[in-house]
Amino acid sequence: MDVRFGLDSYELNEYGLPPVELVNWYALPAPDRPDKGARLVPVEGVENAITRPSGFRGRGCASFQNIFTGVIAVETAQVLLFPPSTGNTLGSPATLGSLGGTTGEVDFAASFTEVVVCGSGHATAFAAGPTATAVTLPSGVPQAAAEINQRHLYVQAGTSVIWYSDVADATTIGGSSFFTVEQEPQDVTTLLEYNGVVYAFGVTKITPYVATTSVTTPFVARQGAEIRMGIIGRSAKTIINDDIFFVRTDGAVCRMRAGGYPEVVSTEAIQRLISSDADSDDVVLSGFSFGQRTVLQVHIPNTGDYFYDASLGLWHRRKALTSEFWRYRFYTQFDGLVYCQNAVDLTPHLGYLSNETFTDRGDTLRREATAIVPIMDDEAVDMLVLEGQSGVGLPGAVQGSEPLAMLRVARDGRTFEDELTTSLGLTGEYNWRPTFGPLGYFKPPVAVLKIALSDPIGYTVTGATINPDYV
């Protein structure tokens, strides 16, 4: 019997069983193994790019090489520029300016000459020099920002009013330079620009706006393109490659491609996790592209960080060893690397993703995968055999030189027993087969198995079999 570890992750299951989880692994297609369908690959590890003093919180990062060379990162209320340095590290930062008393994650909206950084209640425009100029609306305060055709647009907090700047001047906003998202009363929560369209996300609908050549009416709603669904919060949206992702007010995660209608990509289990969170309006979406993969991160404030990998359309979870959360929440590509910003610990730093690193800046990453196994009558399980990259232990007397796999069994489908261990093979033992057993009798209708690895090695699971006939 083949065991599908992690391949039905975060789907609702019957009988009230433990969830099928996939933690710090992700699933990739296995065209060379049609009998298996997919393999489990370790998530990218994180290498340190720079370490910052404690006492701050990361709120967003981005890069705009036509204006500033380096990575712009926001720590609490400081906006900093980290220039490139030797290797893959970043240099000591220069302070670009402040965001005043803003809270929450920030928006970046860039033209050819200016970058606007907007938090909830405050926005500042930064230009080369550097110069920093606070953005003041004729009425109210800004909540979100976007840019199109050299004009910056700002949502007035708590309203459906959107202000727009003069051309090539993010801070000059006339007293009549606004439009209102109409047709029904609603607050506009946030903005997102993509491919010449600005999407105004509200609590009940999404309205796309396009630029015109008119001086008096520079933006108009695209006729017939309004989408009757709202967004759960101002930070619950992002763009990765050519896809817009956002979270609906009911907790469903949606993907919207250019000119298309949103499709739900979340499972019912993921949707329930979001909608049942006490602070669900503070859900944060971010993500990155790595190689050919598009990876979306959904941060659920009191629950954890869940990732949607478009390669197979499957979900997985990432978290630190001593936390229910992944440390990183914001990503930007600069100089061929994907940099990520710590948003959890009060020790802000930037790292970069590496598929040759299997730790979080040297800290252990524990990988786990669950499988539900159907059982007929009282079925004896002589052994469970893992298939994967054996012989990848590390040289020397270090963690990973004698790598282990762990297994926990819930033979009644609910109660996990003590953890078992087996060797993954020493360096060079490429024909080694990690084996657990004999495991004894399991009770119908199902048993639950959970495997885990914590050694910093690149072990990819290509399959698992109960009672194979080749051993």
Peptide bond connecting 444 to the previous residue in cis, omega within 30 degrees of 0: no
Q: Half-sphere exposure of residue 396, counting CA atoms within 13 Å on the CB side? A: 2
pLDDT at 10: 84
Buried b (16+ CB within 10 A) or exposed e, 60-81: bbbbbeebbebbbbbbebbbbb
pLDDT at 255: 97
Kindly state the tokens that stand for 24: 């710090």
Give the C-alpha distances (Å, rounded to integers) separating 238 from 53, 217, 262, 305, 311. Answer: 29, 27, 13, 15, 18
One-letter amino acid for residue 168 of the chain: A
Contacts of residue 86, defined as CB under 8 A and 6 or more positions apart, other chains included, come to none
pLDDT at 224: 84
* Alpha-carbon torsion (179, 183, 185, 186), positive or negative: negative
pLDDT at 184: 61
User: Cα 372 vs. chain centroid, distance in angstroms?
Assistant: 26
pLDDT at 23: 97
Is 386:421 a contact under the CB 8 Å cutoff?
no
CA distance 79 to 75: 7
Q: Walk along the chain (471 residues) and give the pLDDT tens digit of each residue.
A: 788 888 878 876 656 677 789 999 998 877 777 677 688 999 999 999 998 888 888 999 999 988 999 999 999 889 999 999 988 899 999 999 999 877 789 999 999 999 999 998 999 999 999 999 999 999 999 999 999 999 999 999 999 999 999 999 999 999 999 999 976 667 899 999 999 999 999 999 999 999 999 989 999 999 888 999 999 999 999 999 889 999 999 999 999 987 789 999 999 999 999 999 999 999 999 999 998 899 999 999 999 999 999 877 899 999 999 999 999 999 999 999 999 999 987 777 899 999 999 999 999 999 999 998 888 877 788 899 999 888 888 877 788 889 999 999 998 888 899 999 999 988 888 888 999 999 988 888 888 999 999 999 999 999 899 888 765
Which among 337, 369, 364 is positioned nearest to 351, based on CA atoms? 337
Is 392:401 a contact under the CB 8 Å cutoff?
no
pLDDT at 180: 95
CA distance 201 to 33: 43
3-state secondary structure the chain: CECCCCCCCCCCCHHHCCCCCEECEEEEECCCCCCCCEEEEECCEEEEEEECCCCCCEEEEECCCCCCCCEEEEECCEEEEECECCCCCECCCEEEEECCCCEEEEEEEECCCEEEEEEECEEEEEECCCEEEECCCCCCCEEEEEEECCEEEEEECCCCEEEECECCECCCCCCCCEEECCCCCCCEEEEEEECCEEEEEECCCEEEEEECCCCCCCEEECCCCCECCCECCCCCEEEECCEEEEEECCCCEEEEECCCCCEECCCHHHHHHHHCCCCHHHCEEEEEEECCEEEEEEEECCCEEEEEECCCCEEEEECCCCCCCCCEEEEEEECCEEEEEECCCCCCEEEEEECCCCEECCEECCEEEEEEEECCCCEEECCEEEEECCCCCCCCCCCCCCCEEEEEEECCCCCCCCCEEEECCCCCCCCCCCEECCCEEECCCEEEEEEEECCCCCCCEEEEEECCCCC
pLDDT at 97: 94
